[in-house]
Amino acid sequence: MIKTIAQAIRFRQWLKNFLVFFPAFFAGSLNDLHTLKTEVIAFFGFCFSSSLGYLLNDWRDRDLDRAHPKKRTRPFASGVLSSLRGLLIAVVLLIGLVSVELAMPWRYLICINLYLLVTITYTLYFKNLPVIELIVLTLGFLLRPLGGAAAVDLLVSKWFLIVVGFGALFVGATKRLAEFLKSSERLVRAVLDEYTEGFLQSLINVSMAITLMGYALWVFEIQKGGTWSEVSLLPVTLGAFRYTWHRERGEAEAPETLIFQDPVLLFSGLAGLVTLSLAIYGK
């Protein structure tokens, strides 16, 4: 049952919520115990909120998912998880979310509740609107670091927001292209019929270029740790190109698992994190 619950709440997707920690990390304040504790609470708030959205999405699409070769194994689609048990899990998640909100400042409440609203409206309506659905997904990514910053009253660099926003758009468009090239995905994601391969390719190229340019401008803005921040450009660029290579091979459908399957992608991510840590915390 534990495995079923982990699948239903999409535990692996919680990796995306580590964006909550980024503003405090880049501000050099994660070594403060109170800040770290607050960010951990903020992180779980977004985990509960995102899992509520996944539950609603999978319950609503359970009939469509049964026709998909992979998604038919999802708890609702396979029948392993009943609607009643799904509702009980949702209630527990909602209780956890409310508990987090009671302990957080009002600015965080705006971000987390807006994120929940975005997630729900995406599932109910926006997921079927071409281009708009990608923008809404990007907004969801932006609200994570904004929520983390609001939790500890930090300002967020505009360049960082550009990196997160266009980076999310790059990953989202890459995922859509991988799905577009697989006919089975069109059974459960009707919006794919509204796209063309050329449009998605253009969106990927533009968003990757803006992401890398924004990152370059951002690391030169940090002005800490000598040249370590600039050095981080190398692994980050390597990771972007490596991910693009996977896209050309049709292997970018699940970015949250791909990074752990490809040693080069994992190395580039860890190397970027280490060099930034040296730049910010090295002194």
Domain with 72, as residue range(s), is 1-128
Evaluated on CA atoms 33, 39, 40, 41, the torsion sign reads positive
Contact 161, 203 (CB under 8 A): no
In this structure, the answer to whether residues 195 and 117 fall within a common structural domain is: no
Average pLDDT for 222-245: 81
In this structure, the answer to whether residues 231 and 124 fall within a common structural domain is: no
Say how many domains are in the chain: 2
CATH of the domain at 46: 1.10.357
Average pLDDT for 64-81: 77
Residue 178, domain member (yes or no): yes
CA distances from 251 to 65, 248, 256, 263 (A): 20, 8, 12, 14
**Among 249, 79, 236, 69, which Cα is nearest to 167's?**
236
Residue 152, domain member (yes or no): no
Last residue of a domain, one of 113, 128, 143: 128
Using the predicted structure, report yes or no on whether residue 95 has a pLDDT greater than 70: yes
Using the predicted structure, report yes or no on whether residue 102 has a pLDDT greater than 70: yes
Report the mean per-residue pLDDT for the chain. 86
| pLDDT value at residue 105 | 93
SS3 assignment for 35-79: HHHHHHHHHHHHHHHHHHHHHHHHHHCHHHHCCCCCHHHCHHHHC
CA distances from 15 to 80, 236, 238, 260, 270 (A): 25, 18, 21, 11, 14
Last residue of a domain, one of 83, 109, 128: 128
More confident of the two residues 61 and 148: 148
Contact 166, 210 (CB under 8 A): yes
Instruction: Name the residue with tokens 């209630």.
Output: 91
Last residue of a domain, one of 91, 110, 128: 128
In this structure, the answer to whether residues 124 and 204 fall within a common structural domain is: no
